[in-house]
Structure 1
Amino acid sequence: MKKVMIVDDEIGIRENIRSCIDWEKEGFHYCGDAPDGELALPLIHEWAPDILITDIKMPFMNGLELTSIVRTQQPDIKIIIMSGHDEFSYAQEAIRLGVTEYCLKPISAAELIQMLHKVSKQMDEEHQRMTNRTITKEKLLADLCGGLIGTTDAIESAKQLSLPLSARYYTIVIIDVRLTDDSREPESLMKKLLPILEETRDPHVELLPYIRSRTELVLLLKYHSDDSISVYLEQLRGRVRMELEHTFKCNIILGIGSQQERLQGIHVSYLEAEEDKYITRLTLQNRASLREINLDEQTNLFLDRNSFLEFLKIGSPNLRDHFVQEFAAPLQSFDWKSSSYGFYLLNDLTLESFRLANQLFRMSDHSDENITSLQQTIRKITCWEDCTQYLCSLLDLLWQRRAACSGKYSDVIDQVKAYVSREYNNEQVSLKMISAHVRISPSHLSKIFSQETGQTITEYLTQIRIGKAKELLKTTNNKTFEIAYKVGYNDSHYFSNIFKKTTGFTPREYRTQGTEESQAGPSDMRKEPMYE
Structure 2
Amino acid sequence: MKKVMIVDDEILIRENIRNCVDWTKEGFIYCGDASDGEVALPLIEEYQPDILITDIKMPFMDGLELTAIVRKQMPNMKVIIMSGHDEFRYAQDAIRLGVEDYCLKPISASELIQILQKVSAKIDEEQKRQKSQSITKERLLADLCGGLIGTSEAIESAKALNVSLSSRFYAVAILDIRCKDSADSMTITSLRNELERQLAPLVECLSFFRSRTELVCILKGNTADDIASELKAVSGKIRTELEHQFGVEIYTGIGSLQERIQGIHFSYLEAEEDKYINRLTELNKATLSEFHVSVDIVLDRHLFLEFLKIGVPAQRDSFVREFAVELKQLNWKASPYGFYLLNDLTLEAYRVAKQSFRTGVDPSGSIGCLQQEIKKIAAWEDCCEYLCNLYQELWQWRAESSDKYGDVINQVKEYVMSQYNNEQLSLKVIANHVRISPSHLSKVFSQETGQTLTEYLTQIRIGKAMELLKTTRSKSFEIAFEVGYNDPHYFSNLFKKMTGMTPKEYRNQGADDRKGRLQELEKDETA
Tell whether the 8 Å contact from 2:235 to 2:253 is kept in structure 1 after alignment: no
Decide which of 309, 334, 340 is 1:338's aligned counterpart: 334
Q: C-alpha separation between the residues in 2 aligned to 1:124 and 1:211? A: 34
Q: C-alpha separation between the residues in 2 aligned to 1:384 and 1:227? A: 45
Deviations 1:232-273 (A, max 9, x none): 233322332222112211111111111111111111111111
Equivalent position SS for 2:236: helix
Structure 2 residue runs without a partner (length 5+): 1-106, 407-439, 449-527
Q: CA RMSD in A?
A: 2.8
Q: C-alpha separation between the residues in 2 aligned to 1:353 and 1:247? A: 32
Aligned to 2:289: 291
Distance 1:359 1:202, change over 3 A: farther
Aligned to 1:358: 354
Distance 1:362 1:120, change over 3 A: farther
Paired AA for residue 124 in structure 1: I
Tell whether the 8 Å contact from 2:170 to 2:259 is kept in structure 1 after alignment: yes
Alignment of 1:454-493 (within 5 A): none
Tell whether the 8 Å contact from 2:288 to 2:341 is kept in structure 1 after alignment: no
Tell whether the 8 Å contact from 1:178 to 1:252 is kept in structure 2 after alignment: yes
Aligned to 2:261: 263
Paired AA for residue 172 in structure 2: I
Paired AA for residue 337 in structure 1: K
Q: C-alpha separation between the residues in 2 aligned to 1:282 and 1:172? A: 20
Q: C-alpha separation between the residues in 2 aligned to 1:219 and 1:192? A: 15
Q: C-alpha separation between the residues in 2 aligned to 1:136 and 1:407? A: 44
Q: C-alpha separation between the residues in 2 aligned to 1:406 and 1:146? A: 30
Task: Tell me if 1:377 matches 2:376.
Answer: no
Equivalent position SS for 2:331: coil
Stretch of structure 1 that moved more, 247-256 or 398-407: 398-407
State TM-score, norm by structure 1. 0.53
Stretch of structure 1 that moved more, 231-240 or 168-177: 231-240
Distance 1:291 1:333, change over 3 A: closer
Tell whether the 8 Å contact from 1:255 to 1:277 is kept in structure 2 after alignment: yes
Alignment of 1:90-489 (within 5 A): 109-118=108-117, 120-121=119-120, 123-124=122-123, 127-128=126-127, 131-132=130-131, 134-182=134-182, 185-201=183-199, 203-297=201-295, 300-364=296-360, 366-406=362-402
Tell whether the 8 Å contact from 2:357 to 2:398 is kept in structure 1 after alignment: yes
Q: C-alpha separation between the residues in 2 aligned to 1:229 and 1:126? A: 38
Q: C-alpha separation between the residues in 2 aligned to 1:169 and 1:348? A: 33
Deviations 1:103-161 (A, max 9, x none): xxxxx822331353256336525643663563111111101111111111111111111
Tell whether the 8 Å contact from 1:204 to 1:224 is kept in structure 2 after alignment: no
* 1:339 positional shift: 2.0
* 1:221 positional shift: 0.3
Q: C-alpha separation between the residues in 2 aligned to 1:403 and 1:128? A: 51
Q: C-alpha separation between the residues in 2 aligned to 1:295 and 1:178? A: 29
Distance 1:313 1:116, change over 3 A: farther
Distance 1:409 1:393, change over 3 A: closer
* 1:363 positional shift: 3.8
Tell whether the 8 Å contact from 2:145 to 2:268 is kept in structure 1 after alignment: yes
Deviations 1:326-351 (A, max 9, x none): 22222234321122221121101001
Report how many residues are paired: 306
Q: C-alpha separation between the residues in 1 aligned to 2:218 and 2:403? A: 30
Tell whether the 8 Å contact from 1:186 to 1:215 is kept in structure 2 after alignment: no
Q: C-alpha separation between the residues in 1 aligned to 2:403 and 2:125? A: 42
Stretch of structure 1 that moved more, 139-148 or 116-125: 116-125
* 1:370 positional shift: 1.0
* 1:212 positional shift: 1.3
Q: C-alpha separation between the residues in 2 aligned to 1:228 and 1:191? A: 25
Paired AA for residue 401 in structure 1: W
Q: C-alpha separation between the residues in 1 aligned to 2:350 and 2:316? A: 18
Deviations 1:151-183 (A, max 9, x none): 11111111111211111111111111111122x
* 1:407 positional shift: 5.3
Equivalent position SS for 1:339: coil
Tell whether the 8 Å contact from 1:272 to 1:358 is kept in structure 2 after alignment: no
Q: C-alpha separation between the residues in 2 aligned to 1:310 and 1:186? A: 43
Deviations 1:29-60 (A, max 9, x none): xxxxxxxxxxxxxxxxxxxxxxxxxxxxxxxx
Tell whether the 8 Å contact from 1:150 to 1:264 is kept in structure 2 after alignment: yes
Paired AA for residue 371 in structure 1: I
Tell whether the 8 Å contact from 1:202 to 1:232 is kept in structure 2 after alignment: no
Q: C-alpha separation between the residues in 2 aligned to 1:170 and 1:163? A: 15
Alignment of 1:44-59 (within 5 A): none
Tell whether the 8 Å contact from 1:177 to 1:186 is kept in structure 2 after alignment: no
Aligned to 1:459: none
Q: C-alpha separation between the residues in 2 aligned to 1:316 and 1:170? A: 37
Deviations 1:490-522 (A, max 9, x none): xxxxxxxxxxxxxxxxxxxxxxxxxxxxxxxxx
Distance 1:273 1:383, change over 3 A: same
Distance 1:262 1:407, change over 3 A: farther
Deviations 1:166-224 (A, max 9, x none): 11111111111111122xx4322221012311332252211111111111111100012
Aligned to 1:54: none
Equivalent position SS for 2:120: helix
* 1:307 positional shift: 1.1
Distance 1:228 1:114, change over 3 A: closer
Tell whether the 8 Å contact from 1:147 to 1:264 is kept in structure 2 after alignment: yes
Tell whether the 8 Å contact from 1:205 to 1:221 is kept in structure 2 after alignment: yes
* 1:405 positional shift: 4.6
Tell whether the 8 Å contact from 2:297 to 2:327 is kept in structure 1 after alignment: yes
Tell whether the 8 Å contact from 2:207 to 2:216 is kept in structure 1 after alignment: yes
Tell whether the 8 Å contact from 1:178 to 1:186 is kept in structure 2 after alignment: no
Tell whether the 8 Å contact from 1:290 to 1:341 is kept in structure 2 after alignment: yes
